[in-house]
Amino acid sequence: MSLVIFIIMRAITKPINIFFRKLLLDDVESLVDIEKENTEHPWTAPHFSSSVVDKNTLSIGLVVEQKLIGYALALVVPESADLLNIGIHQNYKRQGYGEVLLTYLLVQLKEAAVSTLILEVRVENHIAINFYQKQGFEAFGIREKYYSNREDAKIMKLHIPY
């Protein structure tokens, strides 16, 4: 399913074409490219491939002017979901696209009768923590040495509000 929206973004004065669609295996190369620029601990092609084909994972791509610039993947279990990954292309950051993508994901989750979204984020990933806090996520615990480099994870959750 895709939805075409014309909106005026904060930093842009002309209307731009944005739509969302399910991620496909054909997207994996682009996803890996975005991910490599975004983090020292990127998901690899097999990570993305297995999530994209998993029937319990909701995957959403954000396309701006025909270019895939963002992705969000959430594993859905009855009534709650785990945000597995979210990212925005380096050249499109801090322009509101992450918020637009997360809002769309929340609408899709609500339609799937999910009321709580949970995530783990590296304790040193202050940008992502700021991002999640602005969207209303609250921290409720730490998973010690959660990541392969033994970094702790902050656990956050959001009650989906509509």
Of the residues 37, 97, 132, 162, only one is catalytic, namely: 132
Q: Which of 19, 21, 75, 93 touches ligand COA (CB under 6 A)?
A: 93
- Pick from 18, 64, 73, 87: which binds ligand COA (CB under 6 A)? 87
C-alpha closest to that of 82 among 54, 40, 123: 54
CB of 140 to ligand COA, least distance (A): 15
- The backbone region for 73, taken as left when phi is positive above 0, alpha when psi lies in -120 to 50, beta otherwise, is beta
- The verdict on whether 132 is a catalytic residue reads yes
**Alpha carbons 136 and 132: distance in angstroms, whole number:** 6
CB of 98 to ligand COA, least distance (A): 2
Per-residue contact track with ligand COA, 9 to 38, x per CB under 6 A?
-----------------------------x
Cα 150 to chain centroid distance, Å, stands at 23
Pair type for strands 116-122 and 80-88: parallel
